[in-house]
Chains A and B, each alone.
Chain A
Amino acid sequence: MIRYLLKRVASGLALLCVVSALTFMMVFGATENVARNILGENATADQVKALNSRLGLDRPLPVQFGDWVSHAVRGDLGPSWTMSESVTSALASRLPVTLSMVTIAVAMMALVSAMLGITAAVRGGWADRAIQIVSIAGFAMPNFWLGLLLVLTFSVKLGWLPATGYVSFSASPSSWAASLVLPVTALVLSGIASASQQVRGAVIDALRQDYVRTLRARGVSPRSVLYRHALRNAMPAALTVLSVQFIALLGGAAVIERVFAIPGMGSLTVSAALIGDVPVLMGVVVTLIIVVVLVNILVDILNAWANPKVRM
Chain B
Amino acid sequence: MSDIKTVQAPIHAASQRRHFVRSVLTNPTGLLASVALLIVITAAVFAPLLAPNEPSTVQIFKVNAPAGDGYLLGGDGSGRDIWSRLLHGGRNTFLGALITIFIAASIGVTAGLFAGFYGRKLDLVARWISDGIMALPALIVLLAFYQALGASIYLSMAVFGVMLSPGFFRLTRNLVNGVKNELYIDAARVSGLSDLRIITKHILLSVRAPVVIQTSIVAGIAIVVQSGLEFLGLGDPSTPTWGGMLQDAFANIYVSPQAILWPGLAITATVASLVLLANAIRDRMQQGGVPVRMPKVLPLTVSDTLPGAAPDVLLDVRDLVVAYPANDGWREVVKGVSLSLKRGEVLGLVGESGSGKSQTAFAILGLLSPGGRVLSGSIQFDGIDLGKSSEDEVRSLRGRRIAYVPQEPMANLDPAFRIGFQLVEPMMTVLGISRAEATRRALKLLARVKLPDPERVFRAYPHEISGGMAQRVLIAGAVACSPDLLIADEPTTALDVTVQAEVLDLLRDLQKEFNMAVMLVTHNFGVVADSCDRVAVMKDGRIVETNTATELFAAPAHDYTRMLLGSVLEGGETRTYRPPMTEERRA
Q: Is B298 part of the binding interface, using a Cβ–Cβ cutoff of 8 Å?
A: no
Residues from chain A with Cβ under 8 Å of B143 in the complex = 254, 269-270, 273, 281
Taking a contact as CB atoms under 8 Å apart, the answer to whether A308 and B416 are in contact is: yes
Taking a contact as CB atoms under 8 Å apart, the answer to whether A27 and B148 are in contact is: yes
Shortest distance between the CB of A187 and any CB in chain B (Å): 12
Taking a contact as CB atoms under 8 Å apart, the answer to whether A309 and B414 are in contact is: no
Interface segment, A46-54, A57-65, A85-93, A215-223?
A: A215-223
A216-B367, A216-B398, A217-B367 known; A145 vs B139 contact (CB < 8 Å): no
* Interchain residue pairs A-B with the least CB separation, the first 4: A219-B399, A251-B139, A217-B404, A30-B148
Taking a contact as CB atoms under 8 Å apart, the answer to whether A219 and B136 are in contact is: no
Q: Is A214 part of the binding interface, using a Cβ–Cβ cutoff of 8 Å?
A: yes
Taking a contact as CB atoms under 8 Å apart, the answer to whether A149 and B260 are in contact is: yes
The distance in angstroms between the C-alpha atoms of A307 and B462, with both chains bound, is 11
Residues from chain B with Cβ under 8 Å of A248 in the complex = 137
Taking a contact as CB atoms under 8 Å apart, the answer to whether B147 and A30 are in contact is: yes
Residues from chain A with Cβ under 8 Å of B38 in the complex = none
The distance in angstroms between the C-alpha atoms of A11 and B402, with both chains bound, is 52
Please list the residues of chain B having a beta carbon within 8 angstroms of any beta carbon in chain A.
128, 132, 134-141, 143-148, 220, 224, 227-228, 231-234, 246, 249-250, 253-254, 257, 260, 263-264, 267-272, 275-276, 279, 362, 365, 367, 369-370, 395-396, 398-400, 402-404, 406, 408, 411-417, 422, 425-426, 429-430, 461, 463, 474, 477-478, 480-481
Shortest distance between the CB of A291 and any CB in chain B (Å): 9
Q: Find the B residue at minimum CB distance from A33.
A: B147
A19's contact among B136, B249, B398, B430, by CB below 8 Å, is which? B136
Total of A-B residue pairs, C-beta within 8 Å: 216
Shortest distance between the CB of B489 and any CB in chain A (Å): 10
Shortest distance between the CB of B39 and any CB in chain A (Å): 16
Residues from chain A with Cβ under 8 Å of B395 in the complex = 216, 219, 221-222
Taking a contact as CB atoms under 8 Å apart, the answer to whether A210 and B398 are in contact is: no
Residue pairs across A and B with Cβ atoms less than 8 A apart, 14 shown, are: A26-B148, A140-B268, A208-B369, A210-B408, A213-B367, A214-B406, A214-B413, A219-B426, A220-B399, A224-B429, A273-B147, A276-B147, A284-B140, A308-B463
A209-B411, A248-B137 known; A274 vs B233 contact (CB < 8 Å): yes
The distance in angstroms between the C-alpha atoms of A254 and B403, with both chains bound, is 58
Residues from chain B with Cβ under 8 Å of A31 in the complex = 147
Question: Interface size for chain A: under 10, 10 to 19, 20 to 34, or 35 or more residues?
Answer: 35 or more
A148-B264, A156-B257, A292-B135 known; A219 vs B400 contact (CB < 8 Å): yes
Taking a contact as CB atoms under 8 Å apart, the answer to whether A139 and B415 are in contact is: no
Beyond A142-B268, A247-B137, A269-B143, list 18 extra A-B contacts (CB 8 Å): A26-B145, A29-B148, A30-B147, A140-B272, A141-B268, A144-B246, A148-B246, A148-B249, A213-B362, A217-B399, A217-B403, A229-B414, A232-B414, A258-B231, A270-B232, A273-B147, A292-B135, A307-B415
Q: Find the A residue at minimum CB distance from B264.
A: A145
Taking a contact as CB atoms under 8 Å apart, the answer to whether A233 and B148 are in contact is: no
Taking a contact as CB atoms under 8 Å apart, the answer to whether B135 and A284 are in contact is: no
Q: Give a binary string over A16-51; 1 marks a CB under 8 Å from any B CB, 0 the rest.
A: 001100010011011100100000000000000000
Q: Give a binary string over A262-288; 1 marks a CB under 8 Å from any B CB, 0 the rest.
A: 000010011001101010011011001
A215's contact among B138, B148, B269, B426, by CB below 8 Å, is which? B426
Q: Is A131 part of the binding interface, using a Cβ–Cβ cutoff of 8 Å?
A: no
Q: Is A181 part of the binding interface, using a Cβ–Cβ cutoff of 8 Å?
A: no
Residues from chain A with Cβ under 8 Å of B415 in the complex = 211, 233, 307-309
A214-B404, A218-B430 known; A258 vs B232 contact (CB < 8 Å): yes
Residues from chain B with Cβ under 8 Å of A254 in the complex = 139-140, 143, 232
Residues from chain B with Cβ under 8 Å of A141 in the complex = 264, 267-268
Shortest distance between the CB of A67 and any CB in chain B (Å): 19
Residues from chain A with Cβ under 8 Å of B417 in the complex = 229, 232
Q: Find the B residue at minimum CB distance from A291.
A: B137
Taking a contact as CB atoms under 8 Å apart, the answer to whether B416 and A247 are in contact is: no
Taking a contact as CB atoms under 8 Å apart, the answer to whether A19 and B132 are in contact is: yes
